[in-house]
Amino acid sequence: MTRIIFLGPPGAGKGTQAKALAENLNIPHISTGDILRQALSEQTPLGMEAQTYMDKGELVPDRLVEAMVEERLNQSDTKSGWILDGFPRTVVQAAFLENLLQSLGHSGEKVVNLDVPDEVVIERLLQRGRKDDAEDVIRRRLQIYRSDTSPLIDYYYTRHKLVMVNGNQSLEDVTTELEEAIASAD
């Protein structure tokens, strides 16, 4: 049973690695960013509420993303495992997730931190060219990562769930290190 939470700054390659790993393991890849972008493109109430935050590089309010994740993890395809990408992003969300997983009976999750230096992240994001990848928005997202999300590294370290992976190497090498790290963490 594989249950993995991906941590790491924007641009660390979380999405790419999480998606590939989920395909290999045949388990759902749950990306809150993807779900929000989908809601936005469909102009649902959730999408419209989230848009103002996303455009500025701010975090969407916890209650919105928490409800999304709760609904998604309650679907039956998550029984065989899952990969969470982009959630949790705050300690409040992490505490929410801990309760949710407990109530669902989902235990043994591993937390992978994809470690990449700031300058590499900025360069990668500028090349990606997504709507929220303008330089001022990137800076804001990194600022928020540092203040709100990076405390999760300690949070999971103290809970003995953290696995560190060097994200500053070729895509293939990250994948290999990731697979080894997950296997040896069992």
Q: Which residue has the tokens 């992976």?
A: 165
Q: Which is nearer to ligand AMP, 7 or 178 (CB)?
A: 7
Q: Both tokens of residue 69?
A: 């994740």
Which one of 18-26, 30-38, 101-109, 111-119 is the stretch in contact with ligand AMP (CB under 6 A)? Answer: 30-38
Quick one: which of 64, 68, 63, 99 has its CA closest to 84? 68
Q: Which residue has the tokens 């990731």?
A: 178
Q: Which residue has the tokens 């388990």?
A: 27
Check residue 54 for interaction with ligand AMP (CB under 6 A).
yes
Q: Which is nearer to ligand AMP, 55 or 173 (CB)?
A: 55
Residues 100-159, interacting with ligand AMP (CB under 6 A): 132, 141
Q: Both tokens of residue 96?
A: 């929410």
In this structure, are residues 38 and 68 in contact, taking their beta carbons and an 8 Å threshold? no
Q: Is the dihedral of CA 12, 175, 17, 4 positive or negative?
A: negative
Q: Which is nearer to ligand AMP, 65 or 178 (CB)?
A: 65
Site pattern 81..100 for ligand AMP (x: CB under 6 A): -----xx-x---x-------
Interacting residue ranges for ligand AMP, rule: CB under 6 A: 10, 32-33, 36, 53-54, 57-60, 65, 86-87, 89, 93, 132, 141
